[in-house]
Copies of this chain bind each other. A is one copy, B any other.
Amino acid sequence: MTNDRKSDDDLNGKTTSFHVAKRAGVSASAVSRVFSGASASPAMHAKVRRAAKDLGYRPNPLARAMVTGKSRMIGLVLAYLDNQFYPLALERLSAVLQERGYHILVFLASNTEDKIATVVQELMDYSVDGIITASVAMSNDLTARCAAHGIPVVMFNRGQDGPGISSVTSTNVSGGRRVAEFLVAGGHRRIAHIAGWAGSSTGRDRQRGLIEGLADAGLEVTDIIDGMYDREVAAAAARTLMSGTRPPDAIFVGNDHMAFAVLDTLRGMGVSVPGDVSVIGYDDVPLAAWPAYDLTTVRQPLNRMVEATVETMLAQIADPSRPSQKIEIDGPLILRSSARTPPDP
């Protein structure tokens, strides 16, 4: 046995397929074939794997990417991470992609058109096999460019009107409806909305659902303020709402992250929740379940959303001619103590 010695000639740690080829007494193509899963005789397999193990050989993914055009990297672009929902999404995405043999090239980009364009361009430079965007909008020009390069894009937690781009969201409009019905059933009559950013499909859909749901009950939203998915903006909105002449008896907030700010603000003003006003959020991030907030909220089924995202991504990579699809996943309303509950029927 000589394989306890580090190797015969591995200067500076780089072992190529040629080294293992020479050692196994075969050609470099042979070792390529056994490592890329192409056909090779059992004997060949044995020889090559043996030599490779002895030398500590691992194929170079970059070189592989050069010739195959597939890098096994997925570009992930995120707008922000202060909303707990996104770190968790990243965590899940990473886990799922990793077990499928993909790696993540991550970019944070503020949600402006040119920033996004720059970032996407850089991702294409690295010839990623696909791009997942979380909560960022893409211009049609940009999606077209990706399509031209044959790079599939799927948007996570954001929809897009144009065709040719896949998206995975929760059922935001029916979620909004559900909130409306729940609040109405709870006896609320003056229902206000601190909306998610109007530039986001998610925000618009939730708002639409709320409006439609209230309309079905013959009600109208008393106030709508765009909270921009921002803590400070949402807090200011809450103050504005509560200092009006006829404050609301319920506030539906566009996501949990803003809802926490609203709760903090209301408590600071001495208004009782849910005594004076009920508060409902959207997402059901872990923080919503912590006793300090105990927020009633619509759950976005993160795991299933992530799995759907990865599934469509990989399907589209495998078959580029596959049409894009918009997937919506349903999530329940989670009852906690921040909103008055309807009496049992």
Contact = CB atoms under 8 A, between A and B. Distances in A.
Interface of A: 12-14, 58-63, 65-66, 71, 73, 80-82, 84, 86-88, 90-91, 94-95, 98, 103-108, 121-122, 125-127, 148-150, 260, 263-264, 267-268, 286-287, 290-293
Copies in the complex: 2
Contacts of A61: 125-126
B65 A62 contact: yes
A291 B263 CA distance: 9
Contact of A291 (B103, B149, B264): B264
Contact of A84 (B14, B84, B104, B267): B84
Given A13-B148, A291-B264, A291-B267, A108 B94 contact: yes
Contacts of A84: 84
A14 B87 CA distance: 34
A43 to B, nearest CB: 27
B71 A81 contact: no
B105 A98 contact: no
B60 A127 contact: yes
Given A58-B121, A60-B125, A268-B291, A107 B81 contact: no
B107 A105 contact: no
12 contacts: A13-B149, A61-B125, A62-B66, A73-B105, A82-B91, A84-B84, A90-B106, A94-B108, A103-B107, A103-B122, A264-B292, A287-B287
- 5 closest cross-chain pairs (CB), A and B: A81-B87, A87-B87, A292-B292, A264-B291, A94-B108
A271 to B, nearest CB: 14
A107 B63 CA distance: 21
A104 B104 CA distance: 8
B58 A62 contact: no
A12 B149 CA distance: 6
Nearest to A261: B290
A291 B105 CA distance: 36
Contacts of A59: 125
Nearest to A121: B58
A171 to B, nearest CB: 26
Contacts of A13: 148-150
